[in-house]
């Protein structure tokens, strides 16, 4: 098979890149190791920045999101037994975020891909990347015991943190920056109305809690937990009781509980691999960087990476190499700002066993400053709604 772009991974980054390239008249194939049924089942992000909404619109897949997604004008910070609203809209001159689940984004992109008759190779085994330091890269994979090869002009490595693309780059050509946090997030999804119409981020002496949602009748809640905790050790009842303890009395009282549809523990990590271009291979999304989910930036960064990449490839086929030459620098400028924000918000909201009482006093002082200073609230708000895509 011969295509212009071979995309490794059919997560949000790969699927959105495929849709944007199709709109630009560029021929691409997606190579995914999992089945078509597996991908939309992954319960992950739900907060979309305006730049992500714009990219989904540009890809022609925004219709259901605008119909079913929830526009949020603010978030609430809970500490010291009370909630304090950060008015995102007022502080950013009218911006907001869209709450629409990653599962739904993935479904919309897969549906649009099928409707346009675009090719995705699912259940591809032993995917390997060849000759991406030359003008004729190739992707090899196995399916049903047979080996196949794709010839292409470029490879987009959109295969997540554990994928093959970053691992194919010689260690001497890549620099890794990493911070692993000493706790995880225990998440629970339930078919219950959200406790509040906006997200609640709670700093509590027992640990962080987040009240999030997927829709007006489906909620997603998280608790900070020890990194070595086992999900089997948490009954639904134990989860709800612990969540109540970490909320203000009014929220604890009005919380509607129900059986969990899904429960899982995710580790928290900050990670950047740079650069993001190696000859004719480009990394995008979680393949190149990870943020702790506190700032809701992971999916949004994946989207902005492929926004830059689709534009760079369109410029290449129109005769200019400027976009692909600057791809890595453009992405990393935005990524490091999101890394900083996600690290800061994580540090502010979680209990860090090693910092003790001094660290907790500093957190309390900063939270108090944050909600009473317009300058500090504005800095939080403009990072939360997402920094603009810059050239």
Ligand X SMILES: Cc1cc2nc3c(=O)[nH]c(=O)nc-3n(C[C@H](O)[C@H](O)[C@H](O)COP(=O)(O)OP(=O)(O)OC[C@H]3O[C@@H](n4cnc5c(N)ncnc54)[C@H](O)[C@@H]3O)c2cc1C
Interface with ligand X by CB under 6 A: which residues?
8-14, 31-34, 39, 44-45, 102, 124, 127, 158-160, 162-164, 266, 285-286, 293, 296-300, 302
Catalytic residue among 293, 308, 327, 350: 293
- How many Cβ atoms are within 10 Å of 21's Cβ, its own excluded? 26
Residues 6+ apart with CB under 8 A from 51: 300, 303, 304, 307, 386, 388, 389
Q: Residue with structure tokens 């200073």?
A: 373
Looking at the Cβ atoms of 126 and 361, the one nearer to ligand X is: 126
Phi, psi of 85 (to 5 degrees): -90, 135
Looking at the Cβ atoms of 34 and 90, the one nearer to ligand X is: 34
Phi, psi of 185 (to 5 degrees): -115, 125
- In terms of phi and psi (left: phi > 0; alpha: psi -120 to 50; beta: otherwise), the region of 342 is alpha
Catalytic residue among 72, 95, 204, 289: 72
Q: What is the dihedral of CA 308, 311, 313, 316, to 10 degrees?
A: -120
Q: Residue with structure tokens 């109540």?
A: 244
Looking at the Cβ atoms of 10 and 272, the one nearer to ligand X is: 10
Looking at the Cβ atoms of 92 and 212, the one nearer to ligand X is: 212
CB of 101 to ligand X, least distance (A): 10
CB of 356 to ligand X, least distance (A): 29
The Cα–Cα gap between 178 and 167 comes to: 16
Looking at the Cβ atoms of 45 and 152, the one nearer to ligand X is: 45
CB of 335 to ligand X, least distance (A): 11
CB of 300 to ligand X, least distance (A): 6
> Does the annotation mark 297 as catalytic?
yes
Looking at the Cβ atoms of 294 and 377, the one nearer to ligand X is: 294
Query: What are the residues facing 177 on neighbouring strands?
Result: 272
> Does the annotation mark 293 as catalytic?
yes
CB of 292 to ligand X, least distance (A): 9
> Does the annotation mark 72 as catalytic?
yes
Q: Exposed (0-12), middle (13-18) or buried (19+): which is 334, by Cβ within 10 Å?
A: buried
Q: Exposed (0-12), middle (13-18) or buried (19+): which is 150, by Cβ within 10 Å?
A: buried
The Cα–Cα gap between 113 and 284 comes to: 19
Residues 6+ apart with CB under 8 A from 174: 166, 273, 274, 275, 278
The Cα–Cα gap between 324 and 311 comes to: 9
Query: What are the residues facing 281 on neighbouring strands?
Result: 155, 278
CB of 47 to ligand X, least distance (A): 6
Catalytic residue among 22, 289, 297, 350: 297
- Asked if residue 3 lies in contact with residue 27, where contact means CB atoms within 8 angstroms, the answer is yes
Looking at the Cβ atoms of 65 and 296, the one nearer to ligand X is: 296
CB of 358 to ligand X, least distance (A): 30
The Cα–Cα gap between 86 and 76 comes to: 6
Catalytic residue among 100, 181, 201, 327: 201
Active-site residue set: 72, 201, 293, 297, 384
């Amino acid at each position: 098979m011969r295509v212009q772009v071979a995309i490794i991974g059919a997560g949000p980054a790969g699927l959105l890149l495929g849709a944007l390239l199709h709109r630009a008249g560029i021929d691409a194939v997606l190579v995914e190791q999992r089945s078509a049924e597996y991908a939309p089942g992954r319960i992950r992000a739900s907060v979309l920045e305006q730049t992500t909404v714009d990219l989904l619109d540009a890809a022609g897949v925004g219709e259901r999101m605008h119909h079913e997604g929830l526009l949020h004008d603010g978030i609430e910070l809970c500490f010291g037994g009370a909630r304090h609203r950060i008015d995102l809209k007022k502080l950013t001159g009218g911006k907001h975020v869209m709450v629409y689940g990653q599962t739904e984004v993935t479904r919309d992109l897969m549906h649009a891909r099928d409707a346009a008759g675009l090719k995705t190779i699912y259940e591809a085994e032993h995917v390997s990347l060849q000759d991406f330091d030359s003008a004729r890269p190739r992707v090899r994979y196995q399916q049903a015991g047979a080996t196949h090869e794709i010839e292409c002009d470029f490879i987009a490595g959109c295969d997540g943190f554990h994928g093959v693309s970053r691992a194919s780059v010689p260690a001497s050509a890549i620099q890794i920056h990493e911070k692993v946090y000493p706790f995880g997030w225990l998440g629970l999804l339930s078919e219950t109305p959200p406790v509040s119409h906006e997200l609640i981020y709670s700093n509590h002496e027992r640990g962080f809690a987040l009240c999030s949602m997927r829709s007006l009748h489906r909620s997603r809640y998280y608790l900070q937990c020890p990194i070595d905790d086992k999900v089997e050790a948490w009954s639904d009842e134990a989860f709800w009781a612990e969540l109540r303890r970490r909320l203000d009395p009014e929220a604890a009282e009005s919380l509607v509980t129900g059986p969990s549809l899904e429960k899982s523990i995710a580790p928290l990590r900050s990670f950047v691999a740079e650069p993001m271009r190696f000859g004719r291979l480009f990394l995008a999304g979680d393949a190149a960087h990870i943020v702790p989910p506190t700032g809701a930036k992971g999916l949004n960064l994946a989207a902005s990476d492929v926004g830059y990449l689709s534009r760079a490839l369109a410029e290449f086929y129109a005769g200019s190499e400027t976009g692909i030459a600057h791809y890595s620098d453009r992405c990393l400028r935005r990524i490091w700002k999101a890394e900083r924000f996600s690290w800061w918000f994580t540090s502010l909201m979680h209990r860090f066993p090693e910092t003790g009482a001094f660290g907790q006093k500093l957190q309390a002082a900063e939270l108090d400053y944050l909600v009473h200073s317009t300058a500090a609230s504005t800095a939080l708000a403009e990072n939360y709604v997402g920094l603009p895509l810059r050239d």
